Amino acid sequence: MSEARKNVVAVGEVLIEFARGGDGRYALSCGGDAFNTAIYLARAGIDVSLATALGDDVHSDSILALTATEGVGRELMLRLPGRLPGINLVSVDANGARVCHSWRAAAPARELFEVPAWPQIAEGLVAARMIYFSGITLSLYSNTGIGRFLAILELAREKGAKIAFDGNFRPRDWANDIGRVRAVFLETLKRVDVALPAFDDEAALWGDASPEATVDRLQAFGIDEIVVKNGPNGALIASSGGREHVPVPEVIEPVDPTAAGDGFNAGYLAERLRGRKPRDAVFAAHHLAGQVIRHRGGIMPRPDAVVH
């Protein structure tokens, strides 16, 4: 299966998105946190594939076409007959905040590790140099799916893969079952090498009082490399070299904060995979996140998608 070997495999879902504009009309696109990160990794020149499941409809066809255009590997994207991808309806409230309503309960991505072809996904993950996923990824799966995924991560680590995880926490995705979220995350963190949490998520889920408290908690799991994102307040790095706060070079008033974290993660991982030091990688991540939030939607126009 040498043709399936990739530097990175991102695991997650792709949603069809309808975003309402100022004129009341809806524009059609697609997105998803792991998907967005995979695209920005590919634009940065990283060999990356996406592991997910789609339907066999025209919208799934368009997702596959976009993935091909962006240079993201498709060999781990399953097609399930008669199924449709999830839908995300996006609008803006009176305060200018993004409001999302999702229809995802029957999305095929939720069954990635339960369909008959799931061993194919497992094989592709074990062959990767790095596996990237998020808390939203975990929220998709049943206990059976999570158990299989975690077992695959263990095997992949034994084969030399690094596991990168963003604890992207959305209570509604978990039916507000905080106990289940914590139990799943606790098992997941035992298998993580690179943690890329956002402080506001960690504070909401665990009650962390500061990014330093987040680092303390994650280091108890033996995680070697931690970058706590804290929006315009910069990022806190913790690694074998100690701890260091890296400020945002320029505080930008966002046009749309969607996918800022996805862009940051891609910018950071791309530079680390090239061998750059964590501090340098964080500056690259800040730069890409700053570019992303200047545009509406999770995937910005290609000419601006450059990681320096």
pLDDT of residue 96: 61
Q: What is the DSSP track for 149-196?
A: HHHHHHHHHHTT-EEEEE----GGGGTT-HHHHHHHHHHHHTT-SEE-
**Which is catalytic among the residues 166, 208, 256, 262?**
262
pLDDT of residue 4: 41
Q: Tell me which H or E stretch contains 133.
A: strand 130-134
pLDDT of residue 100: 81
What is the dihedral angle through the alpha carbons of 128, 129, 133, 137, rounded to the nearest 10 degrees? Answer: 10
> 48, 25 in Cβ contact below 8 A?
no
Fold of 2-13+32-84+108-304: UDP-N-acetylmuramoyl-L-alanine:D-glutamate ligase (3.40.1190)
Residue spans per domain, the chain: 2-13+32-84+108-304
pLDDT in tens, 118-127: 999 999 999 9
pLDDT of residue 304: 45
pLDDT of residue 6: 62
pLDDT in tens, 11-60: 999 999 888 877 778 888 899 999 999 999 999 999 999 999 999 999 99
CA 262 to chain centre: 6
Q: What is the DSSP track for 75-90?
A: TTEEE-TT----EEEE
Q: What is the pLDDT along the chain (308 residues), one digit of tens a residue?
A: 233 446 999 999 999 988 887 777 888 889 999 999 999 999 999 999 999 999 999 999 999 999 999 999 999 999 999 999 999 888 777 666 678 888 999 999 999 999 999 999 999 999 999 999 999 999 999 999 999 999 999 999 999 999 999 999 999 999 999 999 999 999 999 999 999 999 999 999 999 999 999 999 999 999 999 999 999 999 999 998 899 999 998 777 777 777 789 999 999 999 999 999 999 999 999 999 988 877 877 788 876 444 44
Give the angle subtended at the CA of 7 by the CAs of 238 and 195, to the nearest 5°. Answer: 20
> 28, 69 in Cβ contact below 8 A?
no
pLDDT of residue 1: 29
Identify whether 262 is a catalytic site residue. Answer: yes
Radius of gyration of the chain (CA): 18
The predicted model scores a pTM of 0.93
Q: Which residues contact 27 (CB under 8 A, 6 or more apart)?
A: 18, 19, 21
